[in-house]
């Protein structure tokens, strides 16, 4: 202790700014909690939508459902960045609080500070890998989806514990004025360059600025996209794609004259060229492609209603489909399309986008487009559709 006090190491009492107050922390924390809550719920929705087998089928209505929930997910996560930074700045002195001397107190404080360490570590990592994933910057070997999903439960769990522990203090300071000093540390008396209200206003502005300038969601919203100067996405090259034909390694097979789209039901199987598909009855629907990374864009898709193809092989309604792509060895190579999507009249084996033949990067010769479905499951370069039993 005597050595510690001689070192130029800060103690909780060394921090004198009156901005570092529970009254400020609770107000920023409230909005941070709201952002985490929105991101958690929308993240669960997205995770569920990507399950192969869903106990309760994911709805196909409204067609824009997933674009809204996933757009919100990325918006809430991006807004949380400045909120988390300011929250941590406000409570930073707590990091240097002296441990209590009594054993019982020590254990309780240790547990509480342990839960906060978990909360802070998981929150920083969750937001960090989320931001990096949207820019497709994979600097790690772990699975993004599994890690992001697992950390979400850790963050929300640790957050609930934190709220429970602080609830009396939160109620006290949120019930009073932000300038109220009743709950402040004794040393937090020095007025800074900005007041508490100024700091809060600046924080809200920073959160909005981060979302507008930097989120993938705003990058593809007409009008806002011009302000989204730091968004990893734009619509300059048309509807964005997540993986190009060259990246998926399908350029040769997708442009080959021997391409056939195979539809199989039991012993029945038909193999259709793109010309065969174009000769079948066509339909056109305006549907969004909405990516898990938060961007989305409407397209006018034309092609064969999937139900027409299923009738072609005599498949009954209410069956899940296994959709195989020409691309190999990725999570999207083989996926299951739940029956309610297969039977929805708007679900197409799309051949045209905005009146033009599909570009290779958009899934030429034929791709799936269904309402209210995550973009990564709108299979491109379809090779085979199999009706499951």
Partner 1 sequence: MRAARSALVALGVLAAAYGGWLLVSRQHGAQVRQVVEWAAAGVILHDAGLAPLALALGWLGDRLLPRRIARVAALAMLLVGTLTIVAIPVLDGAAAGPNPTLLDRDYATGWLLAAGVPVLGLAGGATISLISSTARRRRTPDGSGPGRR
Among 38, 31, 79, 68, smallest CA distance to 209 is for 79
Q: From the list 35, 39, 49, 210, which residue makes contact with partner 1 (rule: CB under 8 A)?
A: 210
CA dist 104 and 97 (Å) reads 17
Site stretch for partner 1 (CB under 8 A), options 160-168, 181-189, 319-327, 380-388 = 160-168
Give yes or no for residue 229 binding partner 1 (CB under 8 A): yes
* Cβ nearer to partner 1, comparing 128 with 316: 128
Dihedral in degrees, nearest 10, Cα atoms 154, 142, 338, 301: 110
- Residue 33 backbone phi and psi in degrees, to 5: -60, -40
41 near partner 1, judged by CB under 8 A:
no
Look at strands 261-265 and 382-387 and give their pairing: parallel
Say whether residue 9 binds partner 1 (CB under 8 A): no
Q: Does 89 bind partner 1 (CB under 8 A)?
A: yes
The Cα–Cα gap between 290 and 378 comes to 9
Nearer to partner 1, 64 or 89 (CB): 89
78 interacts with partner 1 by CB under 8 A: yes
Range in contact with partner 1 (rule: CB under 8 A) among 59-67, 153-161, 336-344, 365-373:
153-161
Nearer to partner 1, 125 or 334 (CB): 125
Is 151 a binding residue for partner 1 by CB under 8 A? The answer is: yes
Q: How far apart are CA 23 and CA 176, in angstroms?
A: 8
What length is written for the chain? 389
Residue 139 three-state SS? coil
Residue 85 or 339: the one with the smaller Cβ distance to partner 1 is 85
Does residue 134 interact with partner 1 by CB under 8 A?
yes
Total residues contacting partner 1 by CB under 8 A comes to 85
Cβ proximity of 109 and 100 under 8 Å: yes
Stretch that binds partner 1, among 64-72, 203-211, 263-271, 380-388 (CB under 8 A): 203-211
Which phi and psi angles does 97 have, rounded to 5°? -65, 135
Residues 279-318 that bind partner 1 (CB under 8 A): none
């Amino acid at each position: 202790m005597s050595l510690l006090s001689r070192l130029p190491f800060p103690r909780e009492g060394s921090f004198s700014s009156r901005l570092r107050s529970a009254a400020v922390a609770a107000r920023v924390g409230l909005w941070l909690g709201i952002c985490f809550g929105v991101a958690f719920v929308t993240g669960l929705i997205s995770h569920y939508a990507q399950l192969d087998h869903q106990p309760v089928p994911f709805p196909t209505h409204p067609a824009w459902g997933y674009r809204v929930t996933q757009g919100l997910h990325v918006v809430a996560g991006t807004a949380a960045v400045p909120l988390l930074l300011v929250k941590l700045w406000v409570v930073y002195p707590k990091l240097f609080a002296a441990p209590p001397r009594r054993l019982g107190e020590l254990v309780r404080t240790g547990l509480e500070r342990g839960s906060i360490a978990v909360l802070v570590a998981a929150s920083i990592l969750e937001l960090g890998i989320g931001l990096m994933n949207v820019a497709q910057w994979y600097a790690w070997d772990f699975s993004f989806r599994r890690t992001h999903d697992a950390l979400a439960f850790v963050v929300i769990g640790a957050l609930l514990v934190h709220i429970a522990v602080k609830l009396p203090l939160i109620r006290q300071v949120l019930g009073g004025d932000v300038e109220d000093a009743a709950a402040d540390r004794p040393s937090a008396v020095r007025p800074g360059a900005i007041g508490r209200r100024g700091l809060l206003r600046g924080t809200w502005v920073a959160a909005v600025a981060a979302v507008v300038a930097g989120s993938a969601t705003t990058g593809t919203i007409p009008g806002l996209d011009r302000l989204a100067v730091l968004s990893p996405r734009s619509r300059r090259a048309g509807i964005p794609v997540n993986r190009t034909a060259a990246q998926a390694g399908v350029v040769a097979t997708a442009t080959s004259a021997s391409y056939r789209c195979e539809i199989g039901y039991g012993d029945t199987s038909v193999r259709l060229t793109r010309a065969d598909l174009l000769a079948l009855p066509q339909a056109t629907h305006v549907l969004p492609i909405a990516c898990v990374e938060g961007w989305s864009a409407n397209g006018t898709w034309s092609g064969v209603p999937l139900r027409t193809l299923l009738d072609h092989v005599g498949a009954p309604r209410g069956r899940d489909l296994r959709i195989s792509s020409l691309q190999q060895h990725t999570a999207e190579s083989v996926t299951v399309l739940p029956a309610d999507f297969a039977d929805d009249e708007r679900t197409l084996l799309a051949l045209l986008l905005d009146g033009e033949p599909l570009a290779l990067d958009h899934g030429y010769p034929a791709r799936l487009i269904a309402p209210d479905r995550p973009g990564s499951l709108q299979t491109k370069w379809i090779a085979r559709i199999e009706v499951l039993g």
